[in-house]
Amino acid sequence: MHGILHISLAVGLCVFAATVLLDFLHVLFVVFIVSGRRVLTATTSMLWRVVTMLLITVYLHSLLYLGFAAAGIRTGAFLGMKFRKARETLPPAAHDASGVC
């Protein structure tokens, strides 16, 4: 069966994983902006945009993949906030050992 109802579970899981990564990067992007870390903000922004462009090509084939994307977005945001909280518990010097950002 082909058409709008024909989706692949493997592609759906890839969409889910990519949107987890996408929202995780988005949360980090905002954290890095707020903390004034230019290099990390720019790098995270670049990665966020690349993943977005890759996902758009998948969405063009079937809108049903948006369900996988929605689940991935929620999971990525949760993980991003969890990562942020974990970083807040570290001593200040452990946040950025390079001192460049």
In-domain check, residue 1: no
In-domain check, residue 80: yes
| Helix 66-88 × helix 9-34 angle, to 10° | 40
Confidence class for position 58, pLDDT limits 50, 70, 90: low
The predicted structure's pLDDT at residue 1: 47
Where is pLDDT greater, at 95 or 80? Answer: 80
- Domain tally for the chain? 1
Residue 98 has pLDDT above 60, yes or no: no
Q: How far is CA 53 from CA 1, 2, 47, 96, in A?
A: 28, 25, 10, 29
In-domain check, residue 79: yes
In-domain check, residue 54: yes
Calculate mean pLDDT across residues 61-66. Answer: 71
Rounded to the nearest 10°, the torsion over CA 47, 53, 57, 62 is 90
Confidence class for position 101, pLDDT limits 50, 70, 90: very low
In-domain check, residue 71: yes
In-domain check, residue 9: no
Residue 99 has pLDDT above 60, yes or no: no
Structural domain including 37 reads 24-87
